[in-house]
Amino acid sequence: MAKIKSYGVAVTVATNAIGGLTDVSPGGTEVNFVDITTHDSSGGWKEFVGGLKDGGTLELTGAYDAANVGQDYLRANPGASGACVVTFSDASTCSFTGIIGGFATSAPLDDKVEFTCSIKITGAVTYA
């Protein structure tokens, strides 16, 4: 597998391109561990099976732009779900359905105004 650079990553949410991105973190899959230990488990060892999978959270950070249609969509639609696609610099993709969480801005002294947004992944994640 070829190594790729991060510069040029693009994100769309419900077909809206999110502009001004400086950091994109697609999260990662986690699995719940279900304890199935019983009084007659062998040798006194705990036993587990894999439970439900969780796709994690897409975390976005960027330069705030009130005129950007994608940022406006995120800001105006908390709780909405839609198709999300992360396109990497080599044109490979990570796609899933996501629920828009919080959208926040920050304005540190002598720096750019930034936004952050969390999108909860629901269901399976497809890499192509």
What is the percent of the chain where pLDDT is above 70? Answer: 99
Q: For the stretch 38-69, what's the b/e string if a residue is b when 16 or more beta carbons lie within 10 angstroms of its beta carbon?
A: eeeeeeeeeeeeeeeeebbbbebebebeeebe
Hunting for tokens 């986690």 — which residue is that?
Answer: 30
pLDDT at 69 over 80: yes
SS3 21: strand
pLDDT at 128 over 80: yes
User: 83-98: per-residue pLDDT in tens?
Assistant: 999 999 999 999 999 9
Domains of the chain by start residue, with CATH: 10-29+50-127 (4.10.410.40)
CB contact at 8 A, 97 and 80: no
Using pLDDT thresholds of 50, 70 and 90, give the confidence band for residue 2.
Answer: confident
